[in-house]
Amino acid sequence: MPNDGESNPVTCHSNDIVRLPDAETVAEAGRLIRQGALVAFPTETVYGLGGDATNGEAVARIFAAKGRPSFNPLIVHVLELGEAGKLGNFSYQAQRLAEAFWPGPLTLVVRRAANTPIADLASAGLPTLALRVPNHPVARAVLRAASCPIAAPSANRSGHVSATRADHVAADLGTRVAMILDGGPAVHGLESTVLDASTGSISLLRPGAVPVETIEAVLGHRLARMPGTSDRPASPGLLASHYATRAMIRLNVTETIPGEALLAFGTPPADFAGPVINLSPAGDLIEAAATLFSALRKLDASGVATIAVMPIPNHGLGEAINDRLRRAAAPRNI
Ligand code: TXA
Ligand code: MG
């Protein structure tokens, strides 16, 4: 049956809130994450909705659970700087900031390292990656138990305020999450500060729990602010740096034109002869979301002038997939 992301496939645990998680519960949370399920856990900033960042389908389930209408890049949580350094490329300045503030409520956006195992969808197809080393004991215990990087946006429905208590998470996400770990009220109650360290200079993408002045004191100079910075910083999906295909994109295609590549969904036309990638032969939107960015990249690399995209239903994650495809198809200045 097509999975539109409304239910979580792994339900070996009830979504009852687990108070003061013991070692066994944390081990179970780690197992659930490794199986591709979602676990909500406390961090020092807000509660996070965590999934295995290396598993595209787990990441797709995060977007489905939040009900996000588009794919915003997520923060990937790891245990220490050494691990972060294998996933992204740290400039000298980025390294300094990590050493000064990790573990803690600072997120650094860096270039993705070559062959990073992080799913493309976690960073919404961007060439960059947002990394953070949390210092909450429960968050760290879950990271240790899962022994994989964990993608975790704030554990609230899209458009709602961030959850700072376990019962907020339960009210917002309910059965969409396999397990909710309770660590009491979040200490900061405010998300991490997000800095862009992917270019030659450091700039502020989102003000948060580490005050800007504290960061400036470490850097020894003022921070550049992104124009229009707010909680929705220069929406990364719209940034020039966002991955755009070289090929033209043609949407809702039911009849292909010779010479095109085909991004299929469901059953492709039997007579199609060009390069084709099927986002999900079974018509599963979770699977399609997990494959989307790498499929676009591969078809683009095949050198065709146009990528034809079959119609994708506009419910569940389909809305976010179509949003991303419309942006890729929009006229652009190169
Ligand atoms: O405190 C926090 O940061 C919490 C806890 C759970 O760690 N997480 C959180 O995640 O607030 P989320 O997904 O709600 O916010 C992620 C922020 C967004 O503003 C997003 O645009 C930005 O990080 N971001 C993530 N990856 C990015 C990237 N590659 N480039 C630019 N911005 C990025
Ligand atoms: Mg949020």
Spacing, Cα 193 to ligand 2 middle (Å): 12
295 band by pLDDT with thresholds 50, 70 and 90? very high
Per-residue pLDDT, 21: 85
Percent of the chain clearing pLDDT 90 (strictly above): 72
Q: DSSP labels for 94-112?
A: HHHHHHHH-SSSEEEEEEE
For a mutational test of ligand 1's pocket, the pick from 191, 199, 226, 242, i.e. the residue with the most ligand atoms closer than 8 A to its C-beta, is 191
Spacing, Cα 246 to ligand 1 middle (Å): 27
Q: Work out the average pLDDT over 218-244.
A: 59
Residues within a 6 A CB radius of ligand 1: 43, 45-46, 48, 72-75, 105, 107, 109, 123, 126, 128-130, 132, 152-154, 191-192, 194, 205-206, 233, 236
Spacing, Cα 162 to ligand 2 middle (Å): 6
Cα–chain-centroid distance for residue 210? 22
Q: Work out the average pLDDT over 263-267.
A: 97
- For residue 236, pLDDT over 60 is answered with no
- For residue 125, pLDDT over 50 is answered with yes
The span from the first CA to the last CA of the chain, in angstroms, equals 42
6 band by pLDDT with thresholds 50, 70 and 90? very low
Q: d(Cα 293, Cα 110) in Å, to the nearest integer?
A: 19
Nearest partner of 298 among 317, 316, 275, judged by Cα: 275
On the CB side of 197, how many CA atoms lie within 13 Å of its CA?
A: 26
pLDDT tens profile 75-112: 999 999 999 999 999 999 999 999 999 999 999 999 99
Q: d(Cα 119, Cα 291) in Å, to the nearest integer?
A: 9
Phi and psi torsions of 131, nearest 5°: -125, 145
Q: d(Cα 96, Cα 319) in Å, to the nearest integer?
A: 40
pLDDT tens profile 15-45: 556 666 889 999 999 999 999 999 999 999 9
- Which residue puts its alpha carbon closest to atom 3 of ligand 1? 192
Q: d(Cα 155, Cα 289) in Å, to the nearest integer?
A: 20
Task: Give the DSSP letter of residue 234.
Answer: T
Nearest partner of 103 among 85, 79, 86, 129, judged by Cα: 79
Spacing, Cα 153 to ligand 2 middle (Å): 6
Question: Which ligand has the shortest distance to the CA of 47?
Answer: 1
What is the position in ligand 1's atom list of the atom closest to the CA of 77? 7
- Give the number of other Cβ atoms within 10 Å of residue 193's Cβ: 25
> What does DSSP say about strands 39-42 and 47-52: parallel, antiparallel, or unpaired?
antiparallel
Quote the tokens at residue 160: 């709602």
Question: Which ligand has the shortest distance to the CA of 191?
Answer: 1
46 band by pLDDT with thresholds 50, 70 and 90? very high
